[in-house]
Amino acid sequence: MKSFNVPVHYRSPLVTAIKQQRKAADKLKKDFSPTHLTLGSLEVILARHFGFCYGVENAIEIAFRAVNENPGKRIFLLSEMIHNPGVNADLQMLGVRFIMDTKGNMLMNWNEITKDDIVVIPAFGTTLELEQQMREKGIEPSRYETTCPFVEKVWNRAEKIGKEGYTIVVHGKPKHEETRATFSHSQAHTPTVVVKDMTQAQHLSKYIIGELPPEQFYTDFRGQYSEGFDAKKDLQRIGVVNQTTMLASETQGIADYLKNVMTDHYLLNPTNIAERFADTRDTLCYATNDNQSAVQGMLQEAADFALVIGGYNSSNTSHLVELCEEKLPTYFIKDESCLLDGHSISHFDLHKQIERITIDFLPYHRPLRIMVTSGASCPDALVDKVIEKLAIITGNESAINNANIHFQVD
């Protein structure tokens, strides 16, 4: 896979060494068992896959190149480059300004942008409408476009099956940048509707089988369907694609569920299912799959609690948190500063959407076993710093430079 030029302070000698050892022992990436780091009375159980993915490193390289290639020019990002506060702060320190927030709300007047400015499209991609606005300003969107290739793969797949007469069902968070972009690209070719979870997919099925009146669809899915959508006609042939950072198993579950609905309703069999349902499973992101599978592999072992590191608005990181929460106490942190001391931790509560402080989060017994992973937009250096901070607050500072790394290849 291509090697990217990203700032050295995002790298970690420790994590790089671990990843290289794991890759050498498992070139085909079929082993999802974790890596164990022993630091005195602390054992860190590190997920097999975590951290920057291909799309994120590609985006970071292009964004910093845009800054370096355009001294003296104003440089803007449509919205956050990736969902990591540290990376975005680094770009802002270099003078980069955000045009919108992550929900699409304007942070400045679009009229302030001129043809002499540099505009970088973030890794999530953007809508066709915004691309057109840029062109009208005399700015070519593709010059510094950092859209993840795997997001573009979803767009291409949606376009292909859309042209074959299928309506696209997008599994994603309706207000997420990537889902808004995918929706825009898809609706340019075919009717499109967004479902945020299995509950909405099950509700959508009631319109497919005619259990609910078509006119009610426009209220139940307000803001989630393309202009001119015909709830009576456009749900007769469908295909499912996803926001690439969603929980892969949930996307597959939704696709399988809707496939069964179509099969039962239209009395289909394996030889003619394609008449009503398009196979789109190849739109699932490899990094999302790998990171989630690695967490599931890590959770096969016992531990006192789990730490998941990443931006609090990161979709892929939030799903890693959800997986861990099913098995053991889990703390969602943005960096090592959240480990306040040996007694307190500042962390994000996904369910209440607030940052909170938990007292006495560290068990008193020794040795301690702590699981650690991070989202696809989290630099390896942050993981390194969290491990170092864990060693310090557990009284294992002297073992930091002599960590015992071991893993079992299945």
Thinking of the domain 151-284, which architecture would CATH place it in? 3-Layer(aba) Sandwich (3.40)
Start-to-end CA distance of the chain, whole Å, equals 23
Strands (E), 105-162: 118-120
Which of the four CATH numbers 3.20.20.80, 2.60.40.10, 3.40.50.800, 3.40.50.11270 does domain 54-144 have? Answer: 3.40.50.11270
pLDDT at 49: 96
Cα–Cα distance between 229 and 233 in angstroms, integer?
Answer: 9
- CATH placement of domain 8-53+287-407: 3.40.1010.20
pLDDT at 1: 60
The yes-or-no verdict on residue 284 having pLDDT over 80 is: no
**What is the maximum span of the chain, computed from C-alpha positions, in angstroms?**
68
Q: With bands split at pLDDT 50, 70 and 90, how would you rate the model's confidence at 342?
A: confident
pLDDT at 285: 76
Q: Which of 80, 145, 177, 178 is catalytic?
A: 178
The yes-or-no verdict on residue 215 having pLDDT over 60 is: yes
Per residue in 181-213, pLDDT tens? 999 999 999 999 999 999 999 999 999 999 999
The yes-or-no verdict on residue 365 having pLDDT over 80 is: yes
| Mean pLDDT, residues 232-253 taken together | 92
Whether residue 367 is preceded by a cis peptide bond, meaning omega within 30 degrees of 0, is: yes
User: What percent of the chain has pLDDT above 90?
Assistant: 84
Closest CA to 326 of 348, 296, 293: 296
Residue 243 is given by DSSP the state -
pLDDT at 363: 94
User: What is this structure's pTM?
Assistant: 0.89
Output the CA–CA distances (angstroms, integers) from residue 291 to 188, 295, 393, in the order listed.
32, 6, 27
**Average pLDDT across the chain, whole number:** 93
Per residue in 372-381, pLDDT tens? 999 999 999 9
| Mean pLDDT, residues 253-275 taken together | 94
β-bridge pairing 35-39 and 42-46: antiparallel
Per residue in 17-37, pLDDT tens? 999 999 999 988 889 999 999
The yes-or-no verdict on residue 409 having pLDDT over 80 is: no
The yes-or-no verdict on residue 410 having pLDDT over 60 is: no
Cα–Cα distance between 316 and 310 in angstroms, integer?
Answer: 9
- Of the listed ranges 55-59, 82-86, 240-244, 294-298, the one predicted with least confidence: 82-86
| Mean pLDDT, residues 69-77 taken together | 96
Matching CATH topology for 8-53+287-407 and 54-144?
A: no
| Mean pLDDT, residues 44-71 taken together | 95
Domain extents in the chain = 8-53+287-407, 54-144, 151-284
Per residue in 158-188, pLDDT tens? 999 999 999 999 999 999 999 999 999 999 9
CB 261 within 8 Å of CB 209: yes
Rg value, the chain, Cα: 23
Q: With bands split at pLDDT 50, 70 and 90, how would you rate the model's confidence at 408?
A: confident
Per residue in 116-146, pLDDT tens? 999 999 999 999 999 999 999 999 999 999 9
Cα–Cα distance between 113 and 109 in angstroms, integer?
Answer: 8
178 is catalytic: yes
